[in-house]
Amino acid sequence: MNPTGVSIRDFGGSQLRDLLHSVHLGGIANNSVELLSETLGPGGFRPLSNSPSWRSGVADDHTPFEFSTAFAVGEPAMVRVLVEPTAAEPSPAANMDAALDVLDSLAGRHGLPLDRFDAVRDLFLPSEPQGEFSLWFSLVFRADAKPVIKVYLNPEVRGRAEAPLLVGEGLARLGYGAGHATIVDHARRRGDLDRYSFFALDLTESSGARAKVYLSHQDATPDDAVVAASAAHGVDAETVRDFCLVAGGRSDPFTGRPLISSYTFLPGDVDRPSGYSLYLPVRSYVNDDSEARLRVLATLDQHLIDPTAFRSALGAVARRPLADGVGLIAHVSLRIGAPRPGVTVYLSSEAHSTASPRVATLVS
């Protein structure tokens, strides 16, 4: 147990504040911290604990939020938080209700357009949700702009077998129906090894509003990732091979945590998406976070991105020496194609616990 009794929301809020300050976004810290608190739902008032009452899938230690920092050449860093709202008495159905309450109040206060969410909600929010979660949010913070709020829905919420139907129908309702076959051909070639993991929507005005589909690829090779990337139009799919090598440190199959693809559909996309991202769970392929940090720096260098903001962000979130654990740097992702290419680094709060470093094994 945590002797100080600090709540999840206060802990997350102070980390977010430090992170925003570290990348020169201190001016929006107060509003951003308030938004995070609200999005955590009633469960955010619980004190931190080594055995949390809801084992959130957002982070390995079950903290219900995770930070990320998005970098692109010549652009200021963006800070984001992925959040699972939870109920006072968490359960799959109670958390879904808590998340819908959060959405109602955010929509009211921030004037969020819910038309596209409403178009698909009956698919993804059944009365008895199955699987790991039903509704997560992402809050995107940028200087001089209102935060962007995104929702993540679970394609397996009616069971794994229903996932392709839900995603196909969801895309069709948003006008991207013809894109589903393209995704299936490129990213669902290996049966059950390729699973639908998220269906995401931006709650912004439709002109730039995106829909994203995520698939995880168990035991995938860099070649599989290149094929997955080539579904998006106008991208150089080969760049993901170098990314696997530099960020993942290997050209062998990724047999630990899976590589994940996401496809971005933008208005005007007809039969294929215009953006692709590859998420590499670097924490499964390093011994500790000091090694993960080097992988991130090499990746930023490969893409000509100034590492200053990443260094500051990491310093702001870490509360321990990097070599003393693994998983603080959870994923590294590469975005190619529209709307803008770049690298994103996912930083765990470690609010509940830290995973011990792996010991490099000496093969005799």
Q: Report if residue 279 touches ligand TRP, rule: CB under 6 A.
A: yes
Name the one range near ligand TRP by CB under 6 A: 56-64, 116-124, 141-149, 236-244.
56-64
Closest separation in Å from C-beta 279 to ligand TRP: 4
Residues 179-183: contacts with CB under 8 Å, at least 24 apart: 179/263, 179/265, 179/269, 179/270, 179/271, 179/272, 179/273, 181/271, 182/231, 182/271, 182/272, 182/273, 183/213, 183/215, 183/231, 183/263, 183/273
Q: Report if residue 82 touches ligand TRP, rule: CB under 6 A.
A: yes
Selected binder of ligand TRP within 23, 36, 58, 211 (CB under 6 A)? 58
Closest separation in Å from C-beta 175 to ligand TRP: 25
Name the one range near ligand TRP by CB under 6 A: 8-16, 28-36, 58-66, 314-322.
58-66
Selected binder of ligand TRP within 57, 126, 175, 267 (CB under 6 A)? 57
Residue with tokens 């962007």: 148
Q: Name residues contacting ligand TRP, limited to 208-267 (CB under 6 A).
A: 260
Binding mask 318-347 for ligand TRP (x = CB under 6 A): -------------x--------------x-
Contact (CB, 8 A) for 73 and 305: yes
Contact (CB, 8 A) for 187 and 231: yes
By Cβ distance, which residue is nearest to ligand TRP?
279
Nearer to ligand TRP, 257 or 293 (CB): 257
Nearer to ligand TRP, 72 or 119 (CB): 72
Closest separation in Å from C-beta 133 to ligand TRP: 9
Q: Report if residue 158 touches ligand TRP, rule: CB under 6 A.
A: no
How many residues touch ligand TRP under the rule CB under 6 A: the total is: 10
Look at residue 145 and give its three-state secondary structure: coil
C-alpha span between 194 and 191 (Å, rounded): 6
Binding mask 280-299 for ligand TRP (x = CB under 6 A): -x------------------
Q: Report if residue 70 touches ligand TRP, rule: CB under 6 A.
A: no
Nearer to ligand TRP, 124 or 346 (CB): 346
Angle in degrees, CA 350, 351, 356, rounded to 5: 35
Closest separation in Å from C-beta 283 to ligand TRP: 9
Closest separation in Å from C-beta 1 to ligand TRP: 24
DSSP, residue by residue, 227-283: HHHTTSTT--TTHHHHHHHHHH--SS-B-SSPEEEEEEE-TT--SS-SEEEEEE-GG
Q: Report if residue 112 touches ligand TRP, rule: CB under 6 A.
A: no
Residue with tokens 């998006």: 232
Cβ neighbours of residue 17 under 8 Å, at least 6 residues apart? 29, 32, 33
C-alpha span between 124 and 137 (Å, rounded): 14
Nearer to ligand TRP, 84 or 288 (CB): 84
Selected binder of ligand TRP within 22, 23, 29, 66 (CB under 6 A)? 66
Q: At what angle do helices 163-173 and 179-187 cross, to 10 degrees?
A: 140
Contact (CB, 8 A) for 332 and 70: no
| Contact residues: ligand TRP, CB under 6 A | 57-59, 66, 82, 260, 279, 281, 331, 346
